[in-house]
Amino acid sequence: MSTLNLPMVVPTKKAWNHSRVIGQKRPLLPKHVWAIRVQLELAGTVSDLALFNMAVDSKLRGCDLVQLKAADEPRISVALP
């Protein structure tokens, strides 16, 4: 078998994530969790608040959370004023 000498490929522009920190992010602090909950309560988005609470309580990852809908969780019961 012969080895082919291919020309070197030089990228014309930098990658979109050049010099960015990639990988696992730091977990949310309890004060950040409560701040998000308060903002969702003030905004009146009940389904978003229920999904956020379920994600935090069950320790879901973001990629798993985006596939859920409020109808997927039968235990979500919210008393509306």
41: Cβ contacts below 8 Å, ≥ 6 apart: 49
Q: Compare 48 and 75 and report the one with higher pLDDT.
A: 48
Average pLDDT over residues 17-30: 84
pLDDT at position 25 = 78
Q: Compare 62 and 43 and report the one with higher pLDDT.
A: 43
Q: Are 31 and 54 in contact (CB under 8 A)?
A: no
- Domains of the chain: which residue ranges? 30-69
Dihedral sign for Cα atoms in the order 24, 52, 55, 31: positive
